[in-house]
Amino acid sequence: DLPDAPVHVEGDRTRLAQVLGNLLSNAIKFTEPGGRIEVSVREQPGAKAVRLAVRDTGAGIEPALAGRLFQPFSQGDTGLVRGKGGLGLGLALSKALVELHDGSIEVASGGAGRGSEFVVMLPVCAERPAAASGGAKPVAQKRKRILVVEDNDDAAETLRVALEMAGHHVDVAG
């Protein structure tokens, strides 16, 4: 569900696409065949913001998990079989990227089996970006030095790459 006219935000196209891709990937992963996934974009004129929402009819989120869902390595109860589980980093990374764009991300769900909705709010660009600007402007951020301690080499490397892409200096220890 898109607006009639384009709305613009100033940001890193690749990182914002990464956020949307993560939200869609999660919606697909946790929505059974025959379910519904909706994406909407709307300008919020009073808030001078763009509202991007991804809503699904999937597994839903328990209220106890919603409060910690954006923390690294947080995952719902997947039992002994982790067929749908990832590393628990996607939403934490998405939140960090959205906040680097001076935005916010929230989740709402009616509970288990009742679907979920993730809402990203981003500031509207003050003026329309130039059409010929070959790339996105870098996002202003505080560069952090981070130590990743992880015994799974693949997980450590994935986290290292993601954090370095966000502009941080990362050291890894097994």
CA of 144: how far to CAs of 7, 32, 94, 163, 164, in Å?
A: 32, 39, 17, 9, 10
For 58, phi then psi, to 5°, come to -85, -145
Q: Residue 86 above 70 pLDDT?
A: no
Confidence of residue 127 (pLDDT cuts 50, 70, 90): low
Choice between 128 and 148, residue whose per-residue pLDDT is larger: 148
Question: Residue 77's CB: how many other CB atoms inside 10 A?
Answer: 9
Q: What is the dihedral of CA 3, 5, 9, 12, to 10 degrees?
A: 90
The edge-to-edge listing of strands for the beta sheet with 116-123 is: 37-44, 49-56, 116-123, 104-109
- The lowest-confidence range among 27-41, 48-62, 137-151 is 137-151
User: Does the pLDDT at position 78 exceed 50?
Assistant: no
- Rounded to 5 degrees, φ, ψ at 53 are -125, 140
Q: What is the mean pLDDT of residues 58-74?
A: 85
Q: What is the mean pLDDT of residues 131-142?
A: 50
Q: What percent of the chain has pLDDT over 70?
A: 83
The answer, yes or no, to whether residue 133 has pLDDT greater than 50, is no
User: Higher-confidence residue: 77 or 148?
Assistant: 148
What mean pLDDT is predicted for residues 121-135?
67
First-to-last CA distance in the chain? Answer: 45
DSSP annotation of 79 reads: -
Non-local CB neighbours of 87 within 8 Å, separated by 6+ positions: 73, 155, 158, 159
Mean pLDDT throughout 58-75? 84
Q: List Cβ neighbours of 164 (8 Å cut-off, separation of 6 or more).
A: 170
User: Can you tell me the mean pLDDT for 159-171?
Assistant: 85
Per-residue pLDDT, 85: 59
Instruction: State which amino acid sits at residue 141.
Output: Q
Residue 31 has pLDDT above 90, yes or no: yes
Full-model pTM: 0.69
